[in-house]
Amino acid sequence: MEPIPQESCTPKTHRIIIAQQGSFVVRPGKLNVRRGDTVIWMAIGAKVSIFFPAGIFRPNEGLLGGRVVDVSNGGESPALVIRDDVEYKIYPYSAYCDKSNSFAQGGSDPELIVGP
């Protein structure tokens, strides 16, 4: 078995955009991440509240109750880091857009896919 190249183990920063294209959408709708990676959401066209299952991210002051982050229109979320001990699995989340009074879609509900 070959060792994993060092650069593939380096944590990465991912950006997810929530913007209006008819209705509000999340791009990418599904994102593969690893433990230690950072995720930042950007909101274009509306204030957005993003709801996560508990325990995905390391503690962060911007993560309300460990499960919700608010992103202002034209702004970015705090940088949220995937916990080092999070279980490998698919984590669906929701993004509520104030302007449309509805949840954004990502092809289906948006997902973070945590894997090795």
pTM for this predicted structure: 0.87
Q: How confident is the model at residue 8 (pLDDT cuts 50, 70, 90)?
A: low
> Topology of domain 11-114, per CATH?
Immunoglobulin-like (2.60.40)
Q: What angle do CA 113, 115, 116 make, to 5 degrees?
A: 160
**Percentage of the chain surpassing pLDDT 90?**
69
Residues 6+ apart with CB under 8 A from 86: 35, 55, 56, 114
Q: Decide if pLDDT at 57 tops 80.
A: yes
Q: In which residue are the tokens 């879609």 written? A: 105
- What is the structure's pLDDT at 69? 93
Dig out the tokens for 20 from the structure: 């209006």
* Degrees, nearest 5: CA angle 79-83-88: 120
